[in-house]
Chains A and B, each alone.
Chain A
Amino acid sequence: MSLAAEAFVSQIAAAEPWPENATLYQPLREDQILLSDCASSLAVQAYLRMLGLPVRVRCRANAEYMSPSGKVPFIHVGNQVVSELGPIMQFTRAKGHSLSDSLDDVQRAEMKAYMELVNNMLLTAELYIQWCYQNTAAEITRPRYSSPYSWPLNHILAYQKQWEVRRKMNAIGWAGKSLEQVYEDVSQCCQALSQRLGTQPFFFNKQPTELDALVFGHLFTILTTRLTTDELSEKIKSFSNLLSFCRRIEQAYFESQDRDSQSGALDYSKGPSLM
C-alpha cells in the first residue's frame, strides 16, 4: 500500500470512535516481561486510563514480534495497530482524545522536553542495567527474555537482543559508562522531575498529562520490580514527592477504577502494588 493510501486509511480510522474491544499487547507478565517493557506498557495503560479509554491487556510471548515497530506495547484498535506511547498519543489525538489540550504552547513544549528527558535517561538507564550490567543480564534479563523459547533458540535470541542493545548503547555513547554513572544519571533525572513536580498533584497543575503517565509508568515499575540490587529503586525513594505522586496515580487510576469495574482480573495489569 502506498504512503498516501496508508495516510488515507488512518484518517478514516481516526474518524471512527474508540471501540470497546481495544486491546493492548505486552509480553508475558509473570515470566517474560522486562523492566523497560513493563514500564512502557504501564505508561501506555496509565495514559489510556487517564483518558478514560477502555483497553484490555493481553499477554503474548511474541508481542515484540507482533508489534509493527518491534517494540512493546502496542494497541490493536479496530483494524489499526499502533505501537509505543508517542504514536499512540498521536493516534488518540486524531480521534479527539488528548490530555494536554488545556496547556499553552510553552507548557506543551516543556512537557515534551521532560518526556524526552524521561525517555533518554530513565528508559536508557533501564536498558543499560538490564542488558549491559553483567549480573542483571545473566541472572534476570536473559533468562526472562528467552523463557518462552526452547533450547538452543533461547540463547540465540537472548544474545542477539543483548548485542542489539549494546550496539545502541555504543551509538549513544553509554557503552563506556559505569554502573555508578548510570545511577547518578537516574538520580539527576529524578531530581529534575522532583523539582518540576514540587508540591503539585500532577506535573502541570491539577490535571494529568502525557508526562504524568510516562513518569508514573517508569517510576512505578522501577519501585516494584526486584533486580539484583535495590540501588535503582533506592535512588527514587529518596524523592518523597515522586513516591507520593506514584501512589496518587495508582489510587486514582488503577485501584479505584478496578473497584468500579468488576472485571479487575483482566484489566488490572499493572502488577504489584506500592502499598
Chain B
Amino acid sequence: MGTVHARSLDPLPMQGPELGVQADDLDVGEAEYEPQQEVLENKDVVVQHVHIDGLGRTKEDILTYEIADVFRAKNLIDVMKKSHDARQRLLRLGIFRQVEVVIDTSHGVDALPNGLDVTFEVKELRRMTGSYNTMVGNNEGSMVLGLKLPNVFGRAEKLTFQFSYGTKETSYGLSFFKPQAGHFERNFSVNIYKVTGQFPWSSLRETDRGISTEFSFPIWKTNHTLKWEGVWRELGCLARTASFAVREESGHSLKSSLAHAMFIDTRNSPILPKKGALLKINQELAGYTGGDARFLKEDFEIQLNKRLIWDSVLSASLWGGLLLPFGDKPTSIADRFYLGGPTSVRGFSMYSIGPQSEGDYLGGEVYWAGGLHLYTPLPFRPGRGGFGDLFRTHFFLNAGNLCNLNYGEGPRAHLSRLAECIRWSYGAGIVLRLGNIARLELNYCIPMGVQSGDRICDGVQFGAGIRFL
C-alpha cells in the first residue's frame, strides 16, 4: 500500500452508479497520488461526522443504522472500506438513484487533527415511477401498466401496483413492502391480487383473488418466510370439450393457509451454478384459519453442484412433495402436483405425467423427481468471458413419478407405488442463460418408462423456465 492522502480520495471509484465495485479494487492506483498536505498512512483517524446530503422525504433514523459502521473505522483504509459498504447498504434499500461518498478532513472549531468527515451525497428516487408494456401471445394481446412508489413513507417502504388488461384476461396486483430499520432482510409485505391462469394440459382456467401477508427473516445461513394467504379460487373449464373430471372441479373455493418456506443457497449463481448447494423446503397448512380447502402440503428441492475438470459441472437434484387432505373432501385439482416438461422430467410434455381423464391431466398427491446433469462449456469455450459464458452443453438423466395416494394403504404401499412405473429420460442439449433468473433449453430427449396416458415429446424439446430439475 502506497502513500495515501485524504484529499486525493475523491477520484477513487467510489462514485458513479456501478454497483459491482469491490473493496479489493480500491487500492488500484492509489500510490500515484502525490502527497499534498499531510500523510495519513497508517495513522489512526477518527470519523467525526457523517453527513448525508440530498435527503428529501427519507427519514434519517433508518439511515443511521446503515452508516453506523463508518464511525467505527480506525484508519483510513478502514474508513474507505466501511464507507463503501455503507454505500452498498444504502443502495440496497432501493430508495436512492445514486449515492456518492466524499471523505474529507474535518473542518470547524472542534476538528481534530486526525478527524475525518464522511459525506454521502444521495439522490432520491422519484416519488413515483411508471412503466408501460404491451405483450402479444397466442391469440391474445395485453397491456401491462406498472406503478411503483419507492420510499412512500420515508422509511424504505415500497408500494407497487401492476395492472394487466388483456383481450382475454384482466389481472392486477398491489403490494406493500416494509423492511425493518437496520435489518433489510427482515421485512414484511402485504399483497392483494387477482390472477388468471389457463392450463391447457388440464383444460382448466383458474382465477385467483387473494390477500397475502408475508414475513421474511434470516436465521443463521437460512432464509425463512412465514406467510398467510387467503385466496378465493374460481375454477372453470377452458373449453366445452373438457373432460368431466375437470368439469366436476369447477366452481368456487376459499383457501386460507399458513405457509412456511425455508431455503439455504450456497451456489455461486442460481442459473448454471458451478459449485454449491441449494435446499428448499415449503410447507403449507390450509383449512385451520378458515376456508374450505383443508390440506397439508410439503415439498422440497435439493441441488448439489460439483466442479470437475475443464470447468465441467456435475449437478444432481431431487424434488419431492406430498399433499395430504384432511377431512372427507378430496384434494382440489388446483392444489395437486404436476410433473413433466422441458425443465422438469424432460422428454415428456408440459405437466403431462400421471393421472388423467380424457386427455386432461389431473395432477397427483405425491411426486418425486430426480436429475443428474453434466454441464460443460464445450464447444463454447472460445467465447469465454463473453457470449460463450451464456451457453452450456449438457447431458442429462431425469426420472420421476407422480401418483395419487389411497390413504388406507399405509406408508409401505405408498412407497412401492412411487417406485413402480418410474418415468425416466435421457438426452443432451444446449442451455442458454437468460440474465440471472431464467434459462432456455434445447434438448434431444429419449423418454423411457412411458405409461399409458402420458404425453411424450420424443426428440427435440424446447423450453424455458425459472425452476429446473
Contacts and interface: CB of A to CB of B under 8 A. Distances in A.
Interface string B209-235: 000000000000000000000001001
Which 9 pairs, one residue from A and one from B, show the smallest C-beta to C-beta distance? A62-B251, A65-B251, A65-B250, A153-B254, A66-B250, A150-B292, A66-B247, A1-B241, A150-B254
B244 interface: yes
A76 interface: yes
A149 B241 CA distance: 27
A153 B252 contact: yes
B240 interface: yes
Nearest to B254: A153
B420 interface: no
Interface string B323-353: 0000000000000000000000000000000
Nearest to A157: B252
B292 A68 contact: no
Given A150-B290, A153-B232, A6 B240 contact: yes
Interface string A36-74: 000000000000000000000000111011101000000
Contacts of A1: 239-241
A79 B254 contact: no
A151 B289 CA distance: 11
A76 B242 CA distance: 13
19 contacts: A1-B241, A9-B241, A60-B248, A62-B250, A62-B251, A62-B252, A64-B251, A65-B252, A66-B247, A66-B248, A79-B244, A79-B358, A150-B254, A150-B292, A153-B232, A153-B252, A153-B253, A153-B254, A156-B232
B236 interface: yes
A64 B247 CA distance: 11
Interface string B253-291: 110000000000000000000000000000000000011
A115 interface: no
Interface in A1-41: 1, 6, 9
Contacts of B290: 150-151
A81 interface: yes
A265 B252 CA distance: 29
Contacts of A153: 232, 252-254, 292
A180 to B, nearest CB: 36
Interface of A: 1, 6, 9, 60-62, 64-66, 68, 76, 79, 81, 149-151, 153, 156-157
Contacts of B232: 153, 156
A66 B243 CA distance: 11
Contacts of B247: 66, 81
B244 A81 contact: yes
Contact of B251 (A6, A61, A79, A156): A61
Contacts of A61: 251
Contact of B292 (A64, A65, A76, A149): A149
A76 to B, nearest CB: 6
Nearest to B246: A66
B381 to A, nearest CB: 50
A150 B248 CA distance: 19
A79 B253 CA distance: 26
Contacts of A64: 251
A68 B240 contact: yes
A157 to B, nearest CB: 6
Given A149-B292, A150-B292, A76 B244 contact: yes
Contacts of A62: 248, 250-252
Nearest to B234: A65
A149 B252 contact: yes
A154 to B, nearest CB: 9
A150 B287 CA distance: 11
Contacts of B252: 62, 65, 149, 153, 157
B236 A65 contact: yes
Nearest to B250: A65
A151 B241 CA distance: 33
Contacts of A150: 254, 290-292
Nearest to A152: B254
Contacts of B241: 1, 6, 9
Contacts of B236: 65
Contacts of B251: 61-62, 64-66
Contacts of A68: 237, 240
Nearest to B239: A1
Contacts of A79: 244, 358
A226 B236 CA distance: 33
B311 to A, nearest CB: 50
A121 B248 CA distance: 32
Contacts of B237: 68
A157 B244 CA distance: 24
Highest count of chain B CB atoms <10 Å: which of A1, A76, A81: A81
B182 to A, nearest CB: 38
A31 to B, nearest CB: 15
Nearest to A160: B252
A103 B193 CA distance: 57
Contacts of B244: 76, 79, 81
Given A76-B244, A81-B240, 5 more contacts: A1-B239, A6-B241, A62-B252, A64-B251, A150-B291
Q: Which of A60, A149, A151 has the most CB of B within 10 A?
A: A149
A65 B207 CA distance: 13
A87 B237 CA distance: 19
B462 to A, nearest CB: 26
A61 B252 CA distance: 10
B254 A149 contact: yes
A60 B329 CA distance: 13
Contacts of B239: 1
A68 B292 CA distance: 24
A64 B236 CA distance: 11
A64 B254 CA distance: 17
Interface in B290-339: 290-292
